[in-house]
Amino acid sequence: MALLDEVRALALEQVNFTNKDREALVEKQNGAYGELHRTTLEFEQAASDEDFDPRPGASALVRLAGQFGTAFPSLSEAQRDAIKQNIAEIYDTASDDVDTAGRALFNATVDFIQASQELNAFEQSQPQNV
């Protein structure tokens, strides 16, 4: 999805950041959202090719990733990787393409939540302007 990456870069170029730490975190979150968007589209494509509807399972994966992010906001990278691996082992449908796309969707959701939490933590640490 080179075009999606190009659009993301264009969007980020429109902001003149004065804080390089904030800029790096916004770029990370924006990139994670782009990946989440891409994996969502890929899942939708894989799902449309099937005789069954895997969307409810995918929605559950997204909600589960959100619950992990809320319940465990400071998971280490190793802990996130372990969760991703465990989900990969239990997420199973009648289609290998849907399985791959669903797992990628879960992983991208976890990564997006992590990037968002990092940006939020940075913003919360900044002095408040009244």
Chain centroid offset of residue 4 CA: 15
C-alpha span between 68 and 91 (Å, rounded): 16
In a domain, 66, yes or no: yes
C-alpha span between 19 and 36 (Å, rounded): 26
What is the Cα gyration radius of the chain? Answer: 17
In a domain, 9, yes or no: no
In a domain, 3, yes or no: no
Per-residue pLDDT tens listing for the chain (130 residues): 578 778 878 887 888 899 999 999 999 999 999 899 999 999 999 999 888 999 899 999 999 999 988 888 888 999 999 999 999 999 988 899 999 999 999 999 999 999 999 999 999 999 887 6
C-alpha span between 74 and 55 (Å, rounded): 29
In a domain, 35, yes or no: yes
Residue 71 belongs to what domain range?
Answer: 22-123
CB atoms within 10 A of CB 87: 18
In a domain, 16, yes or no: no
Q: Report the pLDDT value the prediction gives residue 130, as an integer from 0 to 100.
A: 62
In a domain, 82, yes or no: yes
* Sign of the alpha-carbon dihedral angle for 89, 95, 96, 102: negative
In a domain, 13, yes or no: no
Give how many domains the chain has, as a whole number: 1
Q: Are 27 and 122 in contact (CB under 8 A)?
A: no
Q: Report the pLDDT value the prediction gives residue 71, as an integer from 0 to 100.
A: 87
Q: Report the pLDDT value the prediction gives residue 113, as an integer from 0 to 100.
A: 94
Q: CB-based contacts of 67: which residues, under 8 Å, 6+ apart?
A: none
Integer distance in angstroms from the first to the last C-alpha of the chain? 41
In a domain, 31, yes or no: yes
Q: CB-based contacts of 122: which residues, under 8 Å, 6+ apart?
A: 21, 22, 25
The model scores a pTM over 0.85: yes
